[in-house]
Amino acid sequence: MRWTKFTIDTTEEAEDLVSGILFDEGITNIEIEDLLPVEALEGEEYEELQPDRGEDDGTSRISFYVEEGEDYGALLERIQIQIESSRAFADMGSGHIAISSTDEADWRNKWKDYFHSFQVGDIFIHPSWEELEAGHEKDVVLQIDPGITFGTGKHETTQLCIKALGKYLQGGEKVLDVGCGSGILSMVALKKGASSVTGTDIDPACVEAVRENLSRNDLPLSAMNCHIGDLTNDPKIKASVGGDYDLVVANILADIIIGMIDAIAATMKPGAVFISSGIIDFKQKEVEAAFERAGLTIIETGEQGEWRSVIGRK
């Protein structure tokens, strides 16, 4: 399969802004290439090897992929307009968008240069091409290989959810993962003792991605049910998903969280916890207001870089 690759020339200063623009367009899997040194996440052991690529010059290249043959003209126009309108807030660089093509096999091999094992709390995530070294006997270990459609768990929003799952899962919970993607958060929940996990997503590709990742991590396929459709307006999905969940997690865009909040609250039993992330900092107040309108009491917020999590209880 061939993919069209789009690369935005920007700056390190604008990385979060450009990422937010792409997130708002539904593009959640991106590559960021810059010369910033890799630093440890606060309070965690996190080590990643990278080659010496020279002195940091402040530039950044942010890439995303679209399946070859899809119409992308209107998408690029919207992205370009938002980049230009963001110049009042940060140095956006040239904002030029380069277009190239790549084979899926080439794309996957390229990941091996940049994706290495990493730690989030007591969760250790590693790709299949890296041997699991000693010293992780007490960690929850997940093997994840990057894919075109879904991410690896390395993004700040996913890590915020992983940390919250570690805090609020006690064992035996019935969990709902809204926008489950490749099932990373679902697998964390299962490894942390959830009795069952139900996932929803609008992308049919998630079914195979979830199946592959469950098998790769020695988790039974029966441990997770995956439903394709929109929980907000599809009666069949609502009926299939049901309710009475102890914990709901959603790593999706702020505007989608706001639009889905009533449907999500309806799946929760009294006392249940909703962990949400995918929220750029300037959208946090809107999400908090939506929680309150839906009858959820905000019990915690988190932040990592420009991204936020909002956690509420019914």
Q: pLDDT by residue (tens digit) across 6-43?
A: 999 999 999 999 999 998 888 877 888 887 654 433 33
Closest listed residue to residue 254, CA positions, set 191, 310, 195, 185: 310
> Based on the domain organization, do 235 and 295 belong to the same domain?
yes
Least confident span in 58-67, 128-137, 169-178, 250-259: 128-137
Residues 165 and 215 in one domain: yes
Residue 143 inside a domain? The answer is no
Residues 158 and 297 in one domain: yes
Average pLDDT value for residue range 81-102: 90
> Could you give the number of structural domains in the chain?
2
- Please check whether residues 221 and 305 belong to one and the same domain: yes
Which of 92, 114, 136 delimits the end of a domain? Answer: 114
Residue 21: inside a domain: yes
Regarding whether 166 and 80 lie in a shared domain, the answer is: no
Given 114, 144, 164, which residue is the final one in a domain? 114
- How far is Cα 197 from Cα 211, in angstroms, rounded to an integer? 13
Residue 128 domain-assigned (yes or no): no
**pLDDT average, residue stretch 113-117:** 67
Specify whether 176 is located in the same domain as 289. yes
The CATH number of residue 23's host domain is 3.30.70.260
Say which CATH number the domain at 247 has: 3.40.50.150
- For residue 102, the model assigns a pLDDT of 72
182 and 108 share a domain?
A: no
Structure tokens at 40: 């440890």
Given this model, what pLDDT does residue 151 score? 55
Query: Same structural domain for residues 160 and 276?
Result: yes
Domain that holds residue 10: 2-114
Q: At what angle do helices 156-168 and 184-191 cross, to 10 degrees?
A: 20
Nearest CA-CA partner of 125 in 147, 152, 156, 148: 152
